Amino acid sequence: MPKLIVFNSVTLDGYFTGEHGDLSWAHSSTQDPEWQSFVSENAKGGGVLVFGRITYEMMASYWPTPLALQNDPVVARQMNALPKLVFSKTLERAEWNNTRLVQGDPVGEMRKLKQEPGQDMVILGSGSIVAQLAQAGLIDEYQLVVKPVVLGKGRTLFEGVRQTLTLRPARTRTFRNGNVFLCYE
Protein backbone atom coordinates (compact mmCIF):
# COMPACT_ATOMS: atom_id res chain seq x y z
CA MET A 1 0.00 0.00 0.00
CA PRO A 2 1.35 3.42 -0.89
CA LYS A 3 2.21 6.02 1.71
CA LEU A 4 0.85 9.55 1.52
CA ILE A 5 3.52 12.14 2.27
CA VAL A 6 3.28 15.93 2.60
CA PHE A 7 6.33 17.97 1.53
CA ASN A 8 6.03 21.70 2.16
CA SER A 9 8.02 24.74 3.15
CA VAL A 10 6.81 26.83 6.06
CA THR A 11 8.02 30.02 7.66
CA LEU A 12 9.38 30.21 11.18
CA ASP A 13 6.02 31.62 12.26
CA GLY A 14 4.15 28.70 10.69
CA TYR A 15 2.82 29.97 7.37
CA PHE A 16 3.04 27.97 4.16
CA THR A 17 1.90 30.91 2.05
CA GLY A 18 2.07 34.59 2.69
CA GLU A 19 -0.76 37.05 2.43
CA HIS A 20 -2.55 36.84 -0.96
CA GLY A 21 -0.75 33.57 -1.78
CA ASP A 22 2.75 35.08 -1.88
CA LEU A 23 5.47 32.39 -2.08
CA SER A 24 8.48 34.58 -2.90
CA TRP A 25 9.87 33.95 0.61
CA ALA A 26 10.15 30.20 -0.18
CA HIS A 27 12.70 30.76 -2.93
CA SER A 28 14.79 33.55 -1.49
CA SER A 29 17.16 31.63 0.77
CA THR A 30 20.92 31.93 0.53
CA GLN A 31 22.45 29.67 -2.07
CA ASP A 32 23.71 26.49 -0.45
CA PRO A 33 25.16 23.57 -2.45
CA GLU A 34 24.09 21.12 0.28
CA TRP A 35 20.49 22.39 0.07
CA GLN A 36 20.50 22.27 -3.74
CA SER A 37 21.77 18.68 -3.62
CA PHE A 38 19.01 17.76 -1.15
CA VAL A 39 16.34 19.28 -3.40
CA SER A 40 17.68 17.47 -6.48
CA GLU A 41 17.94 14.12 -4.69
CA ASN A 42 14.46 14.55 -3.22
CA ALA A 43 13.05 15.20 -6.70
CA LYS A 44 14.54 11.91 -7.93
CA GLY A 45 12.51 10.03 -5.32
CA GLY A 46 9.63 9.33 -7.67
CA GLY A 47 6.05 8.61 -6.73
CA VAL A 48 2.84 10.40 -7.62
CA LEU A 49 2.59 14.15 -7.13
CA VAL A 50 -0.68 15.34 -5.56
CA PHE A 51 -2.02 18.88 -5.88
CA GLY A 52 -5.03 21.03 -5.25
CA ARG A 53 -6.07 23.36 -8.06
CA ILE A 54 -4.14 26.45 -7.00
CA THR A 55 -0.82 24.65 -6.55
CA TYR A 56 -1.39 22.63 -9.72
CA GLU A 57 -1.95 25.77 -11.79
CA MET A 58 1.16 27.40 -10.32
CA MET A 59 3.34 24.32 -10.93
CA ALA A 60 1.92 23.66 -14.42
CA SER A 61 2.66 27.26 -15.42
CA TYR A 62 6.36 26.93 -14.51
CA TRP A 63 7.82 23.41 -14.64
CA PRO A 64 7.07 22.62 -18.31
CA THR A 65 8.80 25.84 -19.46
CA PRO A 66 12.30 26.26 -20.92
CA LEU A 67 13.10 28.60 -18.00
CA ALA A 68 12.47 25.81 -15.46
CA LEU A 69 14.63 23.41 -17.44
CA GLN A 70 17.40 26.02 -17.57
CA ASN A 71 17.16 27.01 -13.87
CA ASP A 72 16.76 23.54 -12.37
CA PRO A 73 17.06 20.76 -14.97
CA VAL A 74 16.95 17.79 -12.58
CA VAL A 75 13.82 18.93 -10.75
CA ALA A 76 12.13 20.12 -13.96
CA ARG A 77 12.63 16.75 -15.68
CA GLN A 78 11.19 14.90 -12.69
CA MET A 79 8.26 17.27 -12.19
CA ASN A 80 7.29 16.85 -15.83
CA ALA A 81 7.82 13.08 -15.97
CA LEU A 82 6.15 11.98 -12.73
CA PRO A 83 2.47 11.05 -12.64
CA LYS A 84 0.33 13.79 -11.14
CA LEU A 85 -3.07 13.87 -9.49
CA VAL A 86 -4.98 17.15 -9.14
CA PHE A 87 -8.08 17.57 -7.00
CA SER A 88 -10.41 20.28 -8.21
CA LYS A 89 -14.12 20.92 -8.43
CA THR A 90 -13.62 23.80 -10.88
CA LEU A 91 -10.97 22.67 -13.39
CA GLU A 92 -12.44 21.19 -16.53
CA ARG A 93 -9.22 19.55 -17.70
CA ALA A 94 -5.62 19.11 -16.62
CA GLU A 95 -3.21 19.44 -19.52
CA TRP A 96 0.18 19.11 -17.83
CA ASN A 97 1.91 15.89 -18.88
CA ASN A 98 0.87 12.74 -16.94
CA THR A 99 -1.88 14.48 -14.93
CA ARG A 100 -5.18 12.95 -13.86
CA LEU A 101 -7.96 15.28 -12.74
CA VAL A 102 -10.18 14.16 -9.85
CA GLN A 103 -13.29 16.27 -9.39
CA GLY A 104 -14.74 14.19 -6.57
CA ASP A 105 -14.14 14.03 -2.84
CA PRO A 106 -10.39 14.09 -2.01
CA VAL A 107 -10.86 12.06 1.20
CA GLY A 108 -12.86 9.28 -0.46
CA GLU A 109 -10.54 9.13 -3.48
CA MET A 110 -7.40 9.06 -1.32
CA ARG A 111 -8.83 6.29 0.88
CA LYS A 112 -9.38 4.25 -2.26
CA LEU A 113 -5.92 5.00 -3.70
CA LYS A 114 -4.18 4.06 -0.46
CA GLN A 115 -5.81 0.61 -0.55
CA GLU A 116 -4.56 -0.14 -4.07
CA PRO A 117 -1.01 -1.18 -4.94
CA GLY A 118 1.04 1.69 -6.26
CA GLN A 119 3.75 4.23 -5.69
CA ASP A 120 3.94 6.54 -2.71
CA MET A 121 2.14 9.86 -3.19
CA VAL A 122 3.53 13.29 -2.27
CA ILE A 123 1.39 16.38 -1.71
CA LEU A 124 3.16 19.62 -2.61
CA GLY A 125 1.63 22.90 -1.43
CA SER A 126 -2.13 22.42 -1.55
CA GLY A 127 -3.02 23.51 1.98
CA SER A 128 -6.74 22.80 1.71
CA ILE A 129 -6.03 19.24 0.48
CA VAL A 130 -3.47 18.74 3.27
CA ALA A 131 -5.97 19.92 5.91
CA GLN A 132 -8.77 17.66 4.61
CA LEU A 133 -6.56 14.58 4.38
CA ALA A 134 -4.87 15.28 7.74
CA GLN A 135 -8.27 15.64 9.40
CA ALA A 136 -9.24 12.25 7.94
CA GLY A 137 -6.04 10.61 9.24
CA LEU A 138 -4.80 9.71 5.75
CA ILE A 139 -1.35 11.34 5.80
CA ASP A 140 1.47 9.00 6.79
CA GLU A 141 4.39 11.43 6.86
CA TYR A 142 4.85 15.20 7.11
CA GLN A 143 8.09 16.53 5.63
CA LEU A 144 8.39 20.22 6.42
CA VAL A 145 11.19 22.61 5.58
CA VAL A 146 11.22 25.51 8.03
CA LYS A 147 12.65 28.57 6.30
CA PRO A 148 14.33 31.27 8.44
CA VAL A 149 11.69 33.87 7.52
CA VAL A 150 8.93 35.52 9.57
CA LEU A 151 5.92 36.84 7.62
CA GLY A 152 3.60 37.95 10.41
CA LYS A 153 0.54 36.83 8.46
CA GLY A 154 -0.49 34.36 5.84
CA ARG A 155 -2.09 30.93 5.72
CA THR A 156 -1.14 27.97 7.88
CA LEU A 157 -0.79 24.52 6.37
CA PHE A 158 -3.31 23.03 8.77
CA GLU A 159 -6.00 25.70 8.46
CA GLY A 160 -9.33 23.99 9.01
CA VAL A 161 -8.06 21.01 11.04
CA ARG A 162 -10.42 20.73 14.01
CA GLN A 163 -8.79 17.94 16.00
CA THR A 164 -5.41 17.50 17.57
CA LEU A 165 -2.91 15.63 15.41
CA THR A 166 -0.22 13.97 17.50
CA LEU A 167 2.85 13.20 15.39
CA ARG A 168 6.06 11.31 16.07
CA PRO A 169 9.40 12.87 15.08
CA ALA A 170 11.22 10.71 12.53
CA ARG A 171 14.28 12.72 11.40
CA THR A 172 15.71 16.23 11.08
CA ARG A 173 18.43 17.94 9.11
CA THR A 174 19.82 21.47 9.30
CA PHE A 175 21.33 23.22 6.27
CA ARG A 176 23.93 25.99 6.12
CA ASN A 177 21.41 28.39 4.52
CA GLY A 178 19.26 28.17 7.70
CA ASN A 179 16.63 25.80 6.34
CA VAL A 180 15.66 23.01 8.74
CA PHE A 181 14.08 19.79 7.43
CA LEU A 182 11.65 18.17 9.88
CA CYS A 183 9.99 14.83 9.27
CA TYR A 184 7.07 13.55 11.36
CA GLU A 185 5.04 10.37 11.14
CATH code for the domain of 118: 3.40.430.10
Q: Is residue 121 part of a domain?
A: yes
Domain count, the chain: 1
In the predicted model, what is the mean pLDDT of residues 50-70? 94
Q: Is residue 117 part of a domain?
A: yes
User: CA 159, CA 131: separation in Å to the nearest integer?
Assistant: 6
User: CA 143, CA 183: separation in Å to the nearest integer?
Assistant: 4
User: Distance of CA 108 to CAs 42, 133, 146, Å?
Assistant: 28, 10, 30
What's the mean per-residue pLDDT of the chain?
91
Q: Is residue 139 part of a domain?
A: yes
In the predicted model, what is the mean pLDDT of residues 148-162? 91
**Is the model's pLDDT at 30 over the cut of 80?**
no
Helix 127-135 with 106-115: angle, nearest 10 deg: 70
One-letter amino acid identity for 123?
A: I
Longest dimension (CA), the chain: 43
Q: Is residue 182 part of a domain?
A: no
| pLDDT value at residue 63 | 94
State pLDDT tens for residues 85-137. Answer: 999 999 999 999 999 999 989 999 999 999 999 999 999 988 889 999 999 99
Helix (H) or strand (E) holding 8: strand 4-11
Residue 87 structural domain: 4-177
Q: Is residue 185 part of a domain?
A: no
pTM tops 0.85, yes or no:
yes
User: CA 133, CA 26: separation in Å to the nearest integer?
Assistant: 23
State pLDDT tens for residues 5-20. Answer: 999 999 999 999 998 8
